[in-house]
Amino acid sequence: MSIPTLAQSSFKTQQLTFERVREAYDVKWENLQKELAKEQITGKFILYIAAYKAERRLEIWLKQSTQKQYKLFKVYPFCTLSGVLGPKLKEGDLQTPEGFYHIAAFNPKSNFHLSLGINYPNSVDLLRSANEKPGNHIYIHGNCVTVGCIPLTDEKIKEVYILAVEARNSGQNEIPVHIFPFKITDANLNKHLSAFPQYKAFWTNLQQGYAYFKKYRQVPDVTELMNTYQFK
């Protein structure tokens, strides 16, 4: 966790110069603050986002800097989903990526109301796509249409966007977004591998990150996991 700089502390101020962000704060922030207080989360917090494609579920986990463990704050259902289980392989395949990412862009003037871009393609995606174009522009966004993104509807993205702004403004430069094909229990893994056996090594690797967070309620250091990714 880096120490906030002047540029970081003014991030929220900058975002509030955009009409849609101001409107989101006007209609959502007061109630979000009450919900945060109910969970005994006051002041600055750190954000972790986990998404599960099969369950169509996006989870918001929060903790304060003095706390070791994250706690589940809110769950948002995907409004819709394109593609099937399995990672995104190339541009135009309609797949939602799977893997360990972070928020790389805040778009207050999105074509889909508000959006948070993830750093797809990451290094693993680039290796996997080989000679194919991997595609890009993967977002968590509003509206209810998608060709590989995670849409939540305009009302729900307002809350997620605000929470991301607050975390970023508090000095969290890298907000992790881990996208899993499903909740990777052993039972679920065995069930889904019957239809997608080609992803056994890849999903088993992802399972290590899933299991670590489930056990410790801490975000794993995914660098080593990403360096040992295996796929066909």
Tell me which residues are annotated as active site: 141, 149
CA distance 207 to 193: 13
Q: Distance between CA atoms of 61 and 41, rounded to whole angstroms?
A: 11
Nearest to 184 by CA among 82, 100, 71: 100
Spatial distance between the Cα atoms of 57 and 46, rounded to a whole number of angstroms: 20
Q: How many CA atoms lie within 13 A of 215 on its CB side?
A: 9
| Count of other CB atoms within 10 angstroms of residue 29 | 16
Per-residue tokens: 229: 């990714």
Peptide bond into 108 cis (omega under 30): no
Distance CA 58, CA 193 (A): 22
Collapse the DSSP code of 129 into the 3-class scheme (helix H, G, I; strand E, B; otherwise coil) and give the result.
helix
Strands 139-141 and 99-110 turn out to be unpaired
